[in-house]
Amino acid sequence: MVRDSTTVSLETCLDLLLQSITIQCLEALQYLHNLGLTHCDLKPENILVKSYDRCEVKVIDLGSSCFETDHLCSYVQSRSYRAPEVILGLSYDKKIDIWSLGCILAELCTGNVSMYNI
């Protein structure tokens, strides 16, 4: 398959954009996790574009967040971004935020929601 330079450029640009968003979200989660906090509701609506020019995003809405030492709530995370341990009613930790971010990134890459709200 032959691609022109415009197509390659656009793909490269989109890859760099996705990489930048991923790094910033991981840094935000690392910051929260180092404080002993789990976001508990990471979803696209909670990733705010801070600057289009500089491709900056911000993780927002800590209303559902909890400390590692808190009693775990049985209802956390939006359905489409819910980790398996939460679905199964098992104990969970900060890794559920990483699961949610993975779902969001898959959605950004494919343009499809992995698990719809049923």
Q: What pLDDT shows up at residue 17? A: 92
Exposed/middle/buried for residue 111 (C-beta within 10 Å: 0-12, 13-18, 19+): exposed
Is the pTM for the entire model greater than 0.85? yes
Angle at 118 between CA 103 and CA 108, to 5 degrees: 25
By annotation, the residues acting in catalysis are 41
Domains of the chain: 5-110 (1.10.510.10)
Higher pLDDT, 108 or 113: 108
Q: pLDDT tens for residues 28-61?
A: 999 999 999 999 999 999 999 999 889 999 999 9
